[in-house]
């Protein structure tokens, strides 16, 4: 059945909104251009959806790129089983609200062997439940292009990513032999089994993301806003203590603090920050004076220098 | 203030447009477009250190990153007790092991006045392709030279590639000036030499700055204490005042990326405006078919707009059923791109196999991909600046070539439009990107391989071209005559190329 006529499609005319400033507008145009290019050049694109703020921006841009049509590819959520509960609820709400196709994949081996961040440590857990799971899901869907929300300002090896990042049939990234990428002319030619990861947000910074969320009124998971929440302190991080699977270790105490999250991953591996920022304005001004980087709260980056690159070579996003 | 619920209504009604301001509001300084710059120069001239210093002194390095940096540069601290800044940039394991930059790193930083995207590009000749990658989108190039060593062939190569790619603003950072005891004469000699090179490349905007990236002199903070003889700007001052490339060029262009057909009643052509502007009511031509139509609507997610300008990603709706598909170009009817089967171009060979004469490559330009044969004509000798005859182009060569197509190709000269004048070559055997190129002119004929076109090409000064195009007489002779705008000084050169 053909989709709704565009004329009758639910759409919020946001005509009272001021136009985007030229900087955000340029970033938006670039991202839309990339979305359209990938959708036109590849047979089976998919968009990685991790439910975080970058994913929310990515989704919004995808909707813009293909309007008045609907998003012409599915969203893929690699669910480790250890996401924040609020994230899953938010995901399902978005899928419903925007009429999206969602594919959820969890590594069956991990589920069977009961791989958890506690029993296996963050590195092995991430390898099995994220990297391996992602490779399984991409193979199962025979996807030849996968959109991701990675930004070059996040981490040193991400700063080296192309916008079209070429992957071998076993999903490997060779950072020493990337295709040259000139102007906005992206080379999408691949052989069967090979794929490309496409990063429409490459040139965005963390502050750009927040300013765009504000300007475009993009819905995000409420965990980004400060609120009194139960936490325990572990390995120098404040971990959200609302999931019954989180067992307190000897000496640990659950307590309430006004916190928020600057980045969202698996709850046992994501540290909260003390903050009273309950609005986007407050978040942005907090960021502009922040003295630590965004990924400071992510345990998986800390294992060793270069650990992100290693994970990426093996197929992590 | 503005009409509510206008978007839905306007989609039904070609005449309704939302109250979208045709002109962007006056920008606040911090909101202007970021300046995109590259740093280039030879190996060990200190590029990574310079950018590390820029990031450090503009407070773009956060506490946890600084702690990691201190840890990673364990034992490598310099005598100033500062960490090894290059490690901020060389994020790959192999780069750290070898102490060199292999691939472009993009970094983001800002001052109170402006934000910047800097591409730190490799100095090694074998990674020239990555330097070209960075240069293709940059507004400005910072060329580093080691004050003790002076200009090298690699400096010339990078300056030349940057110029070919349209960069017209250069900063010459004469680095490690502290290691020459702040020798003014040495600085002036190198600046003079570089300015001569820049002039020969046609670049007039060069700022030379004596710098110690390591000590942070004349980067963000001035180096007056050590160099009282230098009273020019610091690097950051130059960057704050530099101009961004203008995407505005003569003649509306929209390379069609996708046809949007969400339902029976809607057909739109999606793409990014690559030059000029368009508004509902404008007549456009679809190339290569040559069919003509009028624009009825410019659709975006938020609003039906009353104009779209270069850089805008939009969806166009036309007033009649015409055959338009991906790869076509929708263009202004009174200022069309060149179409033809043979063109001249300059290119940079990016892969070890070079460019093979007669080999058929894929060429991608805009959203159009087609087969092309490449005939090398000459190669630039970086030592002498002369173009020598060449039958093939090895890796890293800068060459002039003839492009021969099987079917109509659509281009502008790169000088006139950086989007529709640029292309990449893809090797069909490896799928790798093997060259980046820039169109210089259309070729009327090529050795009798293809039938000669009957169109006459006139290269005229821009004002004269405008006048002629405005006349009734000319409007009827579009098929026969092609008029190209040139600046007065360029006319002779372009005519030479056409003849040659």
Contact list, B8 vs chain A (CB under 8 Å): 7, 11, 13
How many angstroms separate the CA atoms of B395 and B400, rounded? 14
The size of the A-B interface in CB pairs under 8 A is: 222
Closest CA relative to residue A36, chosen from B327, B257, B273: B257
Read off the pLDDT band of B245 (50, 70, 90).
confident
B89/B118: higher pLDDT: B118
pLDDT tens digits in sequence order for chain A, 317 residues long: 334 333 333 344 545 678 888 889 999 999 999 999 999 999 999 999 999 999 999 999 999 999 999 999 999 999 999 999 899 999 999 999 999 999 999 999 988 888 988 888 888 898 899 999 999 999 999 999 999 999 988 877 777 788 999 999 988 888 777 888 999 999 999 999 999 999 999 999 999 999 999 999 999 999 999 999 999 999 889 999 998 899 899 999 999 999 999 999 899 999 999 999 999 999 999 988 777 776 666 665 555 556 667 666 766 66
Return the residue matching tokens 């990426």.
A312
CA distance B441 to chain A (A): 20
The pLDDT tens digits of the residues spanning B343-376 come to 999 999 999 999 999 899 999 999 999 999 999 9
CA distance B97 to chain A (A): 12
Read off the pLDDT band of B450 (50, 70, 90).
very low
- Tell me if B313 and A152 make a contact (CB, 8 A cut-off): no
Contact list, B21 vs chain A (CB under 8 Å): 19
Return the residue matching tokens 């199962």.
A140
- Would you say B336 and B413 are in contact if contact means Cβ atoms under 8 Å apart? no
List the 67-96 stretch of A: residues with Cβ below 8 A of B: 67-70
Q: Is A39 on the interface with B (CB under 8 A)?
A: yes
Q: What is the ipTM of this complex?
A: 0.88
Average pLDDT over residues B62-74: 69
A314/B52: higher pLDDT: B52
- Tell me if A176 and B103 make a contact (CB, 8 A cut-off): yes
List the 331-350 stretch of B: residues with Cβ below 8 A of A: 350
The pLDDT tens digits of the residues spanning B258-274 come to 999 998 889 999 999 99
Most A CBs within 10 A among B64, B267, B370, B430, hence the mutation to make, goes to: B64
Phi, psi (degrees; rounded to nearest 5) at A83: -75, 165
Q: In sequence order, which ranges of A113-188 are alpha helices (DSSP H)?
A: 117-126, 133-140
The pLDDT tens digits of the residues spanning B274-290 come to 999 999 999 999 999 99
How many angstroms separate the CA atoms of B140 and B162, rounded? 9
- Residue B385 annotated as part of some ligand binding site: no
Q: Is B31 on the interface with A (CB under 8 A)?
A: yes
Q: In sequence order, which ranges of chain A are alpha helices (DSSP H)?
A: 22-41, 53-66, 85-97, 108-112, 117-126, 133-140, 206-216, 280-288, 307-313
In this prediction, residue A7 carries a pLDDT of 36
The pLDDT tens digits of the residues spanning B90-148 come to 555 665 566 555 567 788 888 888 889 998 877 676 677 778 888 998 999 999 999 99
- Residue B353 has which token pair? 């196999």
B110/B238: higher pLDDT: B238
- Residue B259 has which token pair? 């046809």
Read off the pLDDT band of B9 (50, 70, 90).
very low
- Tell me if A6 and B423 make a contact (CB, 8 A cut-off): no
Of B34-48, B236-250, B486-500, the poorest mean pLDDT is in B486-500
**Residue among A63, A66, A157 whose CB faces B260 most closely:** A66
Return the residue matching tokens 């969400």.
B262
Q: Whole-angstrom distance between the N-terminal and C-terminal Cα of chain A?
A: 35
Rg of chain B (C-alpha set): 25
- Tell me if A157 and B107 make a contact (CB, 8 A cut-off): no
- Residue A209 has which token pair? 């993301």
Q: Helix or strand or coil: residue B156?
A: helix
Q: Is B16 on the interface with A (CB under 8 A)?
A: no
Contact list, B102 vs chain A (CB under 8 Å): 175-176
The pLDDT tens digits of the residues spanning B421-433 come to 999 999 999 999 9
Contact list, B71 vs chain A (CB under 8 Å): 305
Average pLDDT over residues B461-487: 66
pTM across the whole model: 0.83
String of b and e for B265-284 (b: at least 16 CB within 10 Å)? ebbbbbbbbbbbbbebebeb
Instruction: Return the residue of A nearest to B100 by Cα.
Output: A176
How many angstroms separate the CA atoms of B495 and B485, rounded? 12
In this prediction, residue A308 carries a pLDDT of 66
Phi, psi (degrees; rounded to nearest 5) at B408: -45, 130
* Residue A47 parent element (H or E): strand A45-48
Residues 6 or more apart whose Cβ sits within 8 Å of residue A152: A158, A159, A160, A161, A202, A203, B105, B106, B107, B108
- Tell me if B21 and A19 make a contact (CB, 8 A cut-off): yes
Rg of chain A (C-alpha set): 19
pLDDT at position B13 over 50: no
pLDDT at position B499 over 50: no
- Tell me if A159 and B364 make a contact (CB, 8 A cut-off): no
- Residue B177 annotated as part of some ligand binding site: yes
How many angstroms separate the CA atoms of A53 and A290, rounded? 18
Q: Is A40 on the interface with B (CB under 8 A)?
A: yes
- Residue B48 annotated as part of some ligand binding site: yes
In this prediction, residue B206 carries a pLDDT of 94
- Tell me if A182 and B133 make a contact (CB, 8 A cut-off): yes
Output the CA angle B4-B8-B9, nearest 5 degrees: 75
- Residue B121 annotated as part of some ligand binding site: yes
- Tell me if A17 and B302 make a contact (CB, 8 A cut-off): yes
- Residue B120 annotated as part of some ligand binding site: yes
**Residue among B72, B315, B436 whose CB faces A182 most closely:** B436
CA distance B439 to chain A (A): 14
Q: Is B29 on the interface with A (CB under 8 A)?
A: no
Q: Is B23 on the interface with A (CB under 8 A)?
A: no
Percentage of residues of chain B with pLDDT beyond 90: 52
- Residue B178 annotated as part of some ligand binding site: yes
Q: Helix or strand or coil: residue B24?
A: coil
Distance from the Cα of residue A258 to its chain's centroid: 25
Q: Is A7 on the interface with B (CB under 8 A)?
A: yes
Read off the pLDDT band of B400 (50, 70, 90).
very high
Q: For chain B, give the mean pLDDT.
A: 82
List the 150-169 stretch of A: residues with Cβ below 8 A of B: 152-153, 155-160
Closest CA relative to residue B497, chosen from B336, B345, B376: B345
Instruction: Return the residue of B nearest to A291 by Cα.
Output: B62
Report strand pairing: B433-442 vs B266-272: unpaired
pLDDT at position B491 over 60: no
pLDDT at position B170 over 50: yes
**Residue among B34, B65, B105 whose CB faces A23 most closely:** B34
Percentage of residues of chain B with pLDDT beyond 70: 75
Contact list, A11 vs chain B (CB under 8 Å): 7-8, 301
In this prediction, residue A111 carries a pLDDT of 85
**Residue among A37, A160, A203 whose CB faces B104 most closely:** A160
In this prediction, residue B304 carries a pLDDT of 80
In this prediction, residue B456 carries a pLDDT of 62
Instruction: Return the residue of A nearest to B36 by Cα.
Output: A203
């Amino acid at each position: 059945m053909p989709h709704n006529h565009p004329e009758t499609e639910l759409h919020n005319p946001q005509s009272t909104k001021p136009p985007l400033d030229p900087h955000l507008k340029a970033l938006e145009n670039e991202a839309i251009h990339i979305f359209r290019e990938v959708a036109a050049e590849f047979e089976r694109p998919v968009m990685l959806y991790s439910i975080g703020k970058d994913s929310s921006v990515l989704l919004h841009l995808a909707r813009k790129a293909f309007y008045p049509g609907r998003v012409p590819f599915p969203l893929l959520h690699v669910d480790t089983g250890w996401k924040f509960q609020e994230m899953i609820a938010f995901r399902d709400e978005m899928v419903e609200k925007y009429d999206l196709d969602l594919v959820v994949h969890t590594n069956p081996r991990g589920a069977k062997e009961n791989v958890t961040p506690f029993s296996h440590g963050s590195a092995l857990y991430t390898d099995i439940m994220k990297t391996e799971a992602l490779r399984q899901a991409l193979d199962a869907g025979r996807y030849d292009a996968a959109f991701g929300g990675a930004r070059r300002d996040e981490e040193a090896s991400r700063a080296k990513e192309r916008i079209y990042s070429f992957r071998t049939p076993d999903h490997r990234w060779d950072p020493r032999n990337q295709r040259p990428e000139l102007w906005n002319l992206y080379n999408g030619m691949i052989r069967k089994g090979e794929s490309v990861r496409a990063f429409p947000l490459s040139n965005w910074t963390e502050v750009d993301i927040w300013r765009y969320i504000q300007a475009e009124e993009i819905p995000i998971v409420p965990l980004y806003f400060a609120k009194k929440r139960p936490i325990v302190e572990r390995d120098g991080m404040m971990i959200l203590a609302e999931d019954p699977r989180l067992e307190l270790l000897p000496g640990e105490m659950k307590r309430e603090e006004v916190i928020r999250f600057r980045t969202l991953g698996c709850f046992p591996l994501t540290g909260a920050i003390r903050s009273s920022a309950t609005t986007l304005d407050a978040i942005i001004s907090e960021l502009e004076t922040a003295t630590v980087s965004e990924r400071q709260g992510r345990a998986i980056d800390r294992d060793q220098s270069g650990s992100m690159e290693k994970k990426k070579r093996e197929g992590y996003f | 203030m503005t009409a509510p619920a206008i978007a839905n209504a306007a989609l039904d009604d070609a005449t309704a447009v939302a109250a979208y301001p045709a002109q962007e509001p006056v920008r606040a300084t911090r909101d202007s477009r970021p300046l995109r710059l590259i740093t280039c120069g030879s190996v060990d001239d200190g590029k990574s250190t310079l950018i590390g210093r820029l990031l450090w002194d503009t407070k773009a390095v956060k506490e946890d990153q600084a702690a990691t940096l201190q840890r990673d540069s364990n034992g490598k601290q310099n005598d100033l007790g500062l960490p090894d800044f290059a490690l901020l940039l060389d994020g790959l394991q192999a780069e750290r092991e070898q102490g060199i930059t292999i691939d472009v790193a993009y970094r983001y930083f800002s001052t109170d006045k402006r934000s910047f995207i800097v591409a730190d590009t490799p100095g090694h000749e074998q990674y020239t392709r990555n330097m070209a990658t960075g240069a293709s989108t940059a507004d400005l190039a910072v060329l580093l030279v080691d004050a003790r060593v002076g200009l090298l062939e690699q400096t010339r190569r990078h300056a030349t590639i940057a110029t070919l790619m349209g960069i017209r603003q250069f900063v010459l950072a004469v680095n490690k000036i502290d290691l020459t005891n702040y020798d003014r004469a040495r600085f002036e000699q190198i600046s003079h030499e570089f300015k001569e090179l820049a002039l020969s490349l046609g670049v007039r905007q060069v700022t030379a700055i004596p710098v110690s990236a390591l000590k942070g002199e004349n980067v963000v903070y001035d180096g007056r204490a050590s160099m009282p003889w230098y009273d020019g700007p610091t690097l950051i001052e130059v960057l704050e005042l530099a101009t961004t490339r203008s995407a505005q060029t003569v003649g509306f262009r929209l390379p069609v990326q996708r046809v949007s057909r969400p339902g029976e009643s809607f057909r739109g052509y999606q793409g990014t405006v690559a030059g000029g502007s368009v508004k509902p009511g404008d007549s456009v031509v679809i190339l290569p078919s040559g069919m003509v139509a009028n624009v009825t609507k410019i659709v975006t997610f938020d609003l039906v707009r009353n104009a779209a300008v270069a850089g805008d990603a939009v969806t166009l709706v036309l007033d009649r059923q015409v055959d338009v598909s991906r790869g076509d170009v929708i263009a202004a009817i009174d200022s069309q791109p060149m179409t033809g089967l043979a063109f001249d171009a300059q290119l940079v060979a990016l892969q070890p196999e070079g460019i093979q004469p007669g080999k058929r490559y894929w060429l991608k330009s805009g959203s159009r991909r087609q087969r092309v044969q490449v005939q090398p004509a000459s190669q630039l000798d970086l030592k002498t600046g002369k173009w020598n005859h060449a039958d093939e182009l090895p890796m890293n060569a800068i060459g002039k070539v003839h492009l021969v197509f099987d079917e109509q190709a659509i281009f502008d000269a790169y000088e006139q439009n950086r989007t529709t004048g640029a292309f990449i070559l893809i090797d069909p055997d490896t799928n790798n990107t093997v060259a980046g190129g820039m169109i210089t002119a259309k070729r009327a004929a090529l050795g009798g391989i293809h039938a000669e076109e009957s169109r006459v090409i006139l290269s005229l000064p821009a004002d004269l071209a405008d006048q002629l195009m405005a006349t009734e007489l000319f409007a009827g002779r579009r098929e026969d005559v092609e008029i190209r705008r040139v600046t007065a000084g360029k006319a002779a050169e372009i005519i030479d190329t056409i003849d040659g």
